[in-house]
Structure 1
Amino acid sequence: MSPAKDVAAKATPLFAAYRVAARALAPLAWRKVSAKLRAYGLPEARVRERLGHASLPRPQGRLMWFHAASVGESLSILKLVRRLGELDPGLEFLITSGTPTSAELIEKRMPPRCRHQFPPLDHPAYVRRFLSHWRPDLAVLVESELWPNLIVETRKAGAPLILLNARLSPKSVASWQKHHRTATYLLAQFAQFITQNQETADNLRAIGAHADRIRPGSNLKALAAPPPVDADLLTQTQAALSGRAVWTASSTHRGEEEPVIAAHQELLRSHPDLCLILIPRHPERGDEVEALITEAGLTCARRSRGEMPSAQSQIYLADTLGETGTWYAACPLVFLGGSLLDIGGHNPFEPSHHGCAVTTGPGYFNFAETYGDMLAEGAATEIADAPGLAQQIGCWLDDPKTLEVTRTAARTFISRQSDLLDQTADLLLAQLPK
């Protein structure tokens, strides 16, 4: 059955009710998101992109549109976009993402013939305004960005829809199963689903996706280019550290810095020269994190003030954007945050690309399959709390051979993913209307 026939056959009362609610709640949603974007210092033309008003002209020729939620999803597609551009030199690209942080990072790493916009809120009129301007030839939604009006209006506008790197949490699956007819209707709009794993493929089929449109794939984040390294900054950092032992806690959230700092205090007992590079997930929390460091009686230097770690700096607070790759290059021992609390974890492929040994807390459910493989292969380790974190980092500091075994396993794990990039690109190009 074609997507067009599915549209006519399966619209549901629940979807109609959602459209009414989306219209009613749009003013409240607009006030909230516009305030956040203005607070970030964005010009009004960019803020109004959330109403579907484009701030850039549409390029000539065929346009492939990628929509991702935030930083991780957005950065995961850049290598793929670059490869698509190499395979089809006439193809243009639009990337939309909802956060100013993702916009800033995308624009720093933008592939050729690519531009960024914020997506319209999920109001039918805003979505139609967006689509009327951009007229995408193919729309690619990344991971779990299933906004009903965006999906239906895009298909009505004639663009084939792809769900790329599809991921569904058990909670999402259970929710969709309660509304099976509406799930089937929305999933019928898609021409193809390219999933992260077989489990997601099975879940999509269970909630109503057409089996012949599902293609199990790999986690797109494994195919992404590693975070860039600023060679000058790396040289400066290494000179400032002057051979000191160092470890990194990356992408930490509120409630995680305290156990990380406690682990560092424990490590300082046996490694008094040790430096911790602490990278909060949200750099704007720099003042808050610095206060925690001070309360713990430790000293720090702060990247956002242009400081380098001195001999007296026990913690280097790296509260900036876009420099994580440099910190990974400076230090092969990494704790990856978002995992000591029930947050879901963060992308372990990024430090692994740099040959880092990675340890994680137990709350990595967003990367359960990836961490399952990495833990089984010795490419990562799992800890439960501050004492466990101190013990694992201490083991790597004291036993370089064990550290090197973990780093080698991480490099091996990453190398197996690289041949999937062209396979994914070919699947997308095959869906592009001729």
Structure 2
Amino acid sequence: MWGWLILASKMNPSFLLYNLAALSGAALLPPVWLASRLSGRFNEFWPRIGLYSALPPAQPGPRVWLQAVSVGEVAVAKALADELLQKIPNLNLTITSSTPKGLEEATKVLGDRAVIAPFPLDLPWAVAAACRKIRPHVYASLETEIWPNLLTWLKNRGATSLMLNGRLSPRSLPGYQKAGPLMTYSLGHFKRLSMITEKDAERIISLGADPEAVTVDGNAKYAGLLDKVDTDKVNDLKRVFNLEKAPLLVAGSVRSGEETPVISAFKAVLAKHPQAVLAIAPRHLENSAKWSAAARAADLSVELWSGLSPETPRNPETKVVVVDAMGLLFSLYGLAKAAFVGASLVKLGGQNPMEAAVWGVPVCYGPDMDDFTDAARALEEAGASQMVENREQLAQTWNQWLNNEISRPGQAGAQVVARWSGAASKAAQIIQSELLNQGVYR
């Protein structure tokens, strides 16, 4: 196990320093072990330090290892798995994740088609144990995860390493830059780095990636959105909302704490657009009553979706409809003139703005979009979305869009989604090509 480590350290002193630091950090494993016992995550601890006894042995045939750091990347893994397993039925697929929620989601959506396991810590013995057990022909990191020991081990064992759906924000770039020569050394182990945007590509090249190995292929996380578009469902909603010429605003997946800014902003919109209607879709249905009460407290007339039907549509005088049912929000965006996605004016990471953008609807959100930074960034660069910090900015943005003061922002968002719609297929083709190159798949 140690031969490759010694050789690589001689070739790159920064790699040696990295491992000295990693080995020093291993002294923290006993308290981490104790914490895992106390938190009920004990079974996830052992594989992370290299004890993969519960993992089934590698099977004959092509073997692919996808690393999905958390829930968002599991969505990418699923999109790739759907593509790959259709083309390569005998594919042996292993999905790892670094977080409990990621493992839970991977088990839920891929557990019947892939082996699911915790991702190893980047300690020499842990990555050696994982690689011996999985024996991948191709390893793909579904984000910008750069682990020197793992990449070194894989290269020395003849596996191909890929970075797919890579992104690199301006905020994270300085941290990577501090790694200096170690970063250049590690990036050299990737045969292909498929980045989401041109900016991501520029940043990864600035860290030392080979420009010839870097491509821009869009974001596979949002594969399948175009396939979900169903205009018949939108027409059904239109009959129930009884809008005629009234513009509809949608506040989707909103959370507790966002009631005042959203409802106050809508009141300000009504001063300029008295025919406007607001549909509020709480993330948690049990909060429907709270949102209804907040709207009534602002002297707005309210109806619940559950009380409406094609036979008893919205009263034309009703200004707010609280959607107290699951499964409607995506199609509801298709009926909107503009949208707001929640969990963003409170510190909860935001929600997916692409679900509105795919319909050609301009979308705004609060400052906290940590879970969807890539989507928000791409839409903002296209002029299809707007970050707002308070009720005044939300009202101003909605009014501008209803006044058509900003030129065709919604169409720009739809174009972003269209550009990204083939990203999962491209990423799957990259993996398939590498398997062909290795002669393990024909």
With normalisation by structure 2, the TM-score equals 0.70
Tell me if structure 2 keeps the 8 A contact 1:183–1:207. yes
1:83 aligns with 2:83: yes
1:219 aligned partner: 218
Could you tell me how far apart the structure 1 residues matched to 2:69 and 2:411 are? 32
Correspondence list, 1:4-403, <5 A: 9-12=11-14, 13-32=16-35, 38=41, 45=43, 48-52=46-50, 53=52, 55-57=54-56, 58-110=58-110, 113-212=113-212, 214-221=213-220, 224-226=223-225, 247-250=249-252, 259-260=261-262, 262-263=264-265, 274-279=278-283, 309-310=306-307, 315-316=322-323, 326-332=328-334, 333-337=338-342, 340=345, 347-353=352-358, 356-361=361-366, 366-367=374-375, 369-375=377-383, 379-393=384-398
Residue 221 of structure 1 contacts residue 349 of structure 1 at CA under 8 Å; is this kept in 2?
A: no
- Residue in 2 that maps onto 1:423: 426
Spell out, residue by residue over 1:383-431, the C-alpha distance to the aligned partner (whole angstroms, 9 max, x if none).
Answer: 34222323444676x77x9999655543343223334544333322233
CA contact (8 A) 1:128 1:153 kept: yes
What one-letter code is carried by the residue in structure 2 that aligns with 1:217?
Answer: V
Whole-Å Cα distance in 2 between the matches of residues 258 and 121 of structure 1? Answer: 44
Asked if structure 1 preserves the Cα contact closer than 8 Å seen for 2:48 and 2:120, the reply is: yes
The one-letter code of the counterpart of 1:88 is I
Asked whether the equivalents of residues 33 and 45 of structure 2 are also in contact (C-alpha less than 8 Å), the reply is no
Residues 409 and 120 (structure 1), Cα distance of their counterparts in 2 relative to 1, 3 Å cut: same
Structure showing greater Rg: 2
- Structure 1, 126-135 or 359-368: larger mean CA deviation: 359-368
Q: How far did 1:314 drift?
A: 6.2
Contact 2:122 2:149 in 1 (8 A): yes
Measure the CA separation in 2 of the matches of 1:239 and 1:34. 53
In 1: Cα distance, 2:259 partner to 2:40 partner:
27
- Classify the secondary structure of the residue corresponding to 2:116: strand
Relative to structure 1, is the Cα distance of residues 240 and 71 closer, same or farther in structure 2, using a 3 angstrom cutoff? farther
Question: What whole-Å deviation, never above 9, does each CA across 1:6-26 have from its counterpart, x for those lacking one?
Answer: 676114243023322331223
8 Å contact from structure 1 (residues 37, 47) kept in 2: no
**For the residues of structure 2 that align with 1:342 and 1:99, how far apart are their CA atoms?**
20
Distance 1:201 1:392, change over 3 A: closer
Contact 2:220/2:422, CA 8 A, preserved across alignment: no
Task: Judge conservation of contact 2:362–2:410 (CA < 8 Å) in 1.
Answer: yes
Identity %: 25
- Quick one: distance in 2 between partners of 1:257 and 1:24? 47
**TM-score (ref. length: structure 1):** 0.71
> CA RMSD, aligned part only?
4.6
Contact 1:74 1:106 in 2 (8 A): yes
Pick closer, same or farther for the CA change 1:129–1:368 going to 2, 3 Å. Answer: same
